[in-house]
Amino acid sequence: MFIPLKYNIRNLFVRRTATLLTAFGIAVSVAVFVAVMALVEGMDQTFVATGDGRNIIALRRGAVSETGSIIDIEAPLIVRNFPGIEALSAERLVYVSTPRLQGNGSSNVVIRGLNDTGRALRPQVRLVRGRWYRPGTLELTVSRSIASRFRACDLGDEFPTGSTRWKVVGIFDAGNTAYSSEMWTDPDGPAAAFQRRAWSDIVVRATDKAAIAPLLHLLDAEPRIDVDARTEVDYFAEQTKASTPVRVLGNVVAVVMAVGSAFAAMNTMYAAVGARTREIAVLRALGFSGRAVALSFLFEAMLLALVGGVIGGLAALPLNGLATGTTNWFTFSEMNFAFAITPRLFVRGILFAIAMGTVGGVLPAMRASRLSAATAMRAL
Amino acid sequence: MSNNSQWVPTYTSLNVAFVRLILKNALRNRRRTLLTTLSVAVSLFLLVSLRTLITEMKGDTLMTEQSGRRLITRSAVSLQVPLPIAYKEKLARVPNVDRVSEYQWIPSWYREPNVPLMIIACDPEFMGTDPQYAIPPDELPAFKADRTGLIVPQKMMNKYGWRIGQRITLRGSVFPFDVEGTVRARFTGPSQNAIFCWYAYFNELVRRSIPDRADKSMAFVELTHTAADAPGVASLIDAMFTNSIVPTRSESEKNFVLGFSAMLGNVTLFISAIAAAVVFAIVLVTTNTMSMAVRERRHEIAVLKTLGFRPGHVVLLIAGESLAISTAGAILGIGGARVFFRVFDIYDLTNTVIQHFDVTEETMALAALLALVMAIVSSVVPAVSAARTSIANTLRET
């Protein structure tokens, strides 16, 4: 027979101060955990949202990103003749050190040189203001978030790179994708402004899903070009490693804080057991088994943690959607993203809290179950 | 009042008996004291680690005495735009410049494609100029004599198990070639994250594979005669190249490193917010412990007051206990962090991502001060409620 839940809920109310202090302690740990993981989630979502299942991306063998890849100028002419290709776009990427609007410091912002075909391969990107750059000019169409976060990047601005002055002629929206951290121009732009003739990468759209595997094989095996081909989905999945340092930091911080919170919960529960020795004795005298008493206390600890978990999750919630930016060390350039608190993450936070409560509650619960009715009654 | 009694302390002379009473109180519920101490300790450990992370990001610990004399000149636009090699001659002629070296990153990997490894191509004559980057004296000439020679950080030698004289192939991940070289020398020093090779060798490899890119360097390093010369030299250089094909940006080694931290964005703010949350959590835990202690001891506090303890004494009693617990937690947590990061090399723990992680005395002092403040803050509410205990009411309760 189990001790009714109401007993635990009432007890938490009676010991309000201890309950709140302990729950807040757990809430702080959960809030930190959810906040850090929301950052990781935001970064990862951006990468996942960017890859297109039918696009293949070819980089120099060993290169980890589009910006760190150099491909021979003739390579597209060879690749063009491969079977199964619907469209091909050879692109040049250069990152440019650009001052942030807010705060000090600069970051590297990518200028991607691509033609109409390249644009057609990214249907997520749509023009919202102004117009697209024209070929053969030094014009830029800039993502909305770069325009609002960096100096001289807004519509009508002149964006200087050394002696070259670019004209910002349009703003595009790339939703929640990696392109929302870029400025786009014609492929000849970077070639002229940065004396960069080689391509950075080749993006290929396969005619259908079945054509992908043979194409990947052809690209990898072709001896005249030294490239490493993968689907865009795989490429961007690989980039989620960029969030690994944050993820590791978040996990380490969360675990250490959780240890502290669990100790605190243990204190509170031991005190609860101590203060209710007589009650426990009465419960045992009424016929509740030691196991029922233990479960009741364990449950109380979990309930306490649940309250903390919900408070912590709610406290972190205002961060959801907050736009921020950092450097993606793979591309060595700025990446914009927004904190993302998904329902899944919220639940993870609460489970994390319950884990703290469980760890903190086990020993006190066992102690409560070991109190025999007779000694407990005599104790007071 | 019994101020003259041996038992009751005056405010002016906190006697030994009073301190002993505090410690006895702290040890009465050993389990609770232990749990609270451990909780405070792990939190302070975390706090010290977070602050160390911030200080390390400023790169101070990677600087040597000569860092102040070193300037790095690169394209004002982008690290991807290389400078013509002809700049080297011009830089060497700038007044107060002692010597100049090419500085070119060659991102590479060895055996594991996903573990990046950096090679820096430089002028071999520049190596060995900084005494804090010690190179065994017989090894330096061997490097300077071998066009394909490499100087490898000692930590990297250990990590990959390389030996002097060993021929290794480092696979290029940006440039379309591999660097095949012979390990000729080792070095130690604060920054051990890159292998050095001859610029002349790099340039030869470039000329063979991408002739366009030959005779250029990502950046140049200048060593000025004194640290005081550096800022003037930097502005002189940048003024000199304003109207050249590639305008330059020259800055001290420290600012060059700081620039990378700035690229991360608001990391300092983010980490500080986490640290604030940790502090808040510690205060909650200690407050809870102290109020539990006060609640259990209401009866005896009333007795103490009957014996002549003033409210101030009671406050001191509670604050003292909180302080004792925090002190124990601080010694364990702060000292533990120092020892932990001395014993375990962060370079290996993070697979070379973080090179250096030194818990400084300043960080320790700051954390200790914070522990003290937190001990006092968290004892305020419980201590005041204890001091307010009414003798008559409390004694009547049971």
Chain A residues within an 8 Å CB radius of B256:
none
Question: In Å, how far are A123, A133, A174, A227 from A115, measured between CA atoms?
Answer: 14, 10, 17, 21
ipTM: 0.86
Domain ranges of chain A: 5-48+242-378, 62-225
pLDDT at A299: 93
> Do the beta carbons of residue A361 and residue A298 sit within 8 Å?
yes
Across the interface, of A28, A241, A274, the residue whose CB is closest to B280 is A28
Helices (H), B185-297: 199-209, 230-240, 253-263, 267-296
- Closest CB to B285 among A161, A162, A260: A260
Please work out, in degrees rounded to the nearest 5, the angle formed at the alpha carbon of residue B250 by the alpha carbons of B210 and B85.
30
- A25:B284 CB<8 A: yes
CA-nearest residue to B272 within chain A is A32
Q: Is the pLDDT of residue B265 over 90?
A: no
With a CB cutoff of 8 Å and minimum separation 6, the contacts of A373 are A281, A284, A285
Q: Tell me the pLDDT tens digit for each residue of B188-243.
A: 988 888 999 999 999 999 999 888 889 999 999 999 999 999 999 999 999 999 98
Judge residue A237's burial from the number of C-beta atoms within 10 Å of its C-beta, 0-12 exposed, 13-18 middle, 19 or more buried.
middle
A179-218 pLDDT per residue, tens: 999 999 999 999 988 888 899 999 999 999 999 999 999 9
- Nearest residue of chain B to residue A161 (CA atoms): B77
Mean pLDDT of chain B: 90
Q: Is the pLDDT of residue A96 over 80?
A: yes
CB contact under 8 A, A267 and B292: yes
- Band of pLDDT at residue B3, cut at 50, 70 and 90: very low
Nearest by Cα to B110 from B175, B163, B176, B178: B178
> Which DSSP symbol is given to B173?
S
Q: Say whether A260 and B281 touch across the interface (CB within 8 A).
A: yes
Residue B4 pLDDT class (50, 70, 90 cuts)? very low
Q: Give which of B32, B39, B75 to mutate to test A binding, by max A Cβ within 10 Å.
A: B39
Distance CA B181, CA B32 (A): 61
Comparing CB atoms, the residue among B176, B262, B291 nearest residue A106 is: B262
| Alpha-carbon span A197 to A273, nearest angstrom | 75
pLDDT mean across residues, chain A:
92
- Binned at pLDDT 50, 70 and 90, residue B166 comes out as very high
CA–CA min distance B308, chain A (Å): 29
Residue A298's pLDDT band (boundaries 50, 70, 90)? very high
Give A1 to chain B, closest Cα distance, Å: 31
For residue B273, which residues of chain A lie inside 8 Å, CB to CB? 35
- Give me B270's structure tokens: 């983010």
B360 token code pair: 């400084």
Q: CB–CB of B245 and A28 under 8 A?
A: no
Tell me which of B49, B171, B174, B397 to substitute to probe the interface with A (most A C-beta atoms closer than 10 Å).
B174
Q: In terms of DSSP H, where are the helices of chain A?
A: 5-14, 16-50, 75-79, 116-120, 144-149, 188-194, 212-221, 232-239, 244-275, 277-285, 290-316, 343-370, 373-378
Q: What is the DSSP letter of A4?
A: P
Residues of B within 8 A of A260 (CB-CB) are 38-40, 42-43, 46, 281-282, 285
Decide: residue B226, CB within 10 A, 0-12 exposed, 13-18 middle, 19+ buried: exposed
Tell me the pLDDT tens digit for each residue of B350-392.
766 777 888 999 999 999 999 999 999 999 999 998 888 888 8
Cα–Cα nearest to B259, from A20, A187, A107, A238: A107
Subunit contact B212:A62, Cβ cutoff 8 A: no
Q: Taking Cα atoms as reference points, which of A159, A172, A96, A167 lies closest to residue A137?
A: A167
Residue type, B64: T
Closest residue to A68, CB basis, from B173, B273, B288: B173
For chain B, list the strands marked E by DSSP. 70-75, 83-84, 97-109, 116-122, 149-153, 167-172, 179-187, 194-198, 216-217, 219-224, 248-252
User: A264, A18 in Cβ contact below 8 A?
Assistant: no
Shortest CA distance to A277 belongs to which of A155, A375, A141, A151?
A375
